[in-house]
Amino acid sequence: ASPAVVRTAVVTGAGSQRGIGRATAHRLAAAGYEIAVLDLDEAAAKEAAAEIAERHGVRALGVRCDVTDRASVDSAVTEVEGALAPIGALVNNAGITDPSRFLDIEPHVWRKIFAVNVDGTYHVTQRIAGGMVERGFGRIVNLSSVSAQRGGGVFGGSHYSAAKGAVLGLTRAVARELGGTGVTVNAVAPGLIDTDITGGALVGEQRASVLSTIPAGRAGSADDVAVTIAFLCTPEAEYLTGTTVDINGGSHIH
């Protein structure tokens, strides 16, 4: 039998230790992908890559990258292309949230939420998808949120809902455009996942009241999201494109 094709998975925002990106990078490495961690936090990106290489015995590279900055994205991806196998998967995971109420959202906060969650997904996808089309294989997974579907309700405000809604539209339109090229584009919409994205701000009664609405009876773990993303990145998932997979313990059944 011929050896399996080795490909690289790029995961943005996988520096965060308890984050969805880190757990996803581990799942993808376990599935045989080489891993590129692109994160604003350079030390965290490098530490994540070292942990992944050690645990799974695959090549991994951590690179500083600001997904909101086209030049930064271009130089980080160029570095990855020079060091690792051809890119076969991209997980647009880098994201930020903010709990401001609509009437209080300041324009610079609105812009920042869109810059990371939406512009970032655009910049990184555009830089990487062309090569995937040329090679006839690609798996792109974008991080949306239950917030996009039900209008907030966990932590993020309306700017976060709007940005994650934009991610869904982008996912569907790019999936349609790239149909038939071997490149699939899907989104996941996690509910409440235990990570550090809220900076410890979702606690006490507020957390208890969110938990009480989850049929599964618990918050999700980063790995609950990672297993689904890793599945969408398998070659076998080729007939799934433009979909949104809900990962919310039943808190939003629609």
In the complex, the residues that contact ligand NAD under the rule CB under 6 A are 12-13, 15-16, 19-21, 39-41, 44, 65-68, 93-97, 116, 120, 143, 145, 190, 192-193, 195-197
Assign 3-state DSSP to the chain and report helix, strand, coil percentages, each to 5.
45, 15, 35
Q: How far is the CB of 215 from ligand NAD (least distance, A)?
A: 17
DSSP state string for 195-220:
SSTTTT-S-HHHHHHHHTT-TTSSPB
Query: Is the Cβ of residue 129 or residue 143 nearer to ligand NAD in the bound state?
Result: 143
Per DSSP, the three-state class of 189 is strand
Residue from 33, 122, 160, 239 carrying the catalytic annotation: 160
Query: Is the Cβ of residue 47 or residue 182 nearer to ligand NAD in the bound state?
Result: 47
CA quadruple 169, 174, 177, 183: dihedral sign: negative
Query: Is the Cβ of residue 40 or residue 185 nearer to ligand NAD in the bound state?
Result: 40
Known active-site residue 160: yes
- Within 10 angstroms of residue 102's Cβ, the number of other Cβ atoms is 11
Chain position whose Cβ is nearest to ligand NAD: 95
Q: Are 21 and 15 contacting, i.e. CB atoms less than 8 angstroms apart? A: yes
Query: Is the Cβ of residue 97 or residue 228 nearer to ligand NAD in the bound state?
Result: 97
Residue 181 carries which side chain, given as an amino acid letter? T
Q: How many CA within 13 A on the CB side of residue 202?
A: 20
Q: How far is the CB of 133 from ligand NAD (least distance, A)?
A: 24
- Within 10 angstroms of residue 63's Cβ, the number of other Cβ atoms is 21
Q: How far is the CB of 132 from ligand NAD (least distance, A)?
A: 20
Query: Is the Cβ of residue 137 or residue 139 nearer to ligand NAD in the bound state?
Result: 139
User: Looking at residue 193, what DSSP letter applies?
Assistant: B
Q: How far is the CB of 224 from ligand NAD (least distance, A)?
A: 10
Quick one: tokens of 175? 């999936």
Q: Are 28 and 53 contacting, i.e. CB atoms less than 8 angstroms apart? A: no
Q: How far is the CB of 144 from ligand NAD (least distance, A)?
A: 7
Q: Catalytic site residues? A: 160
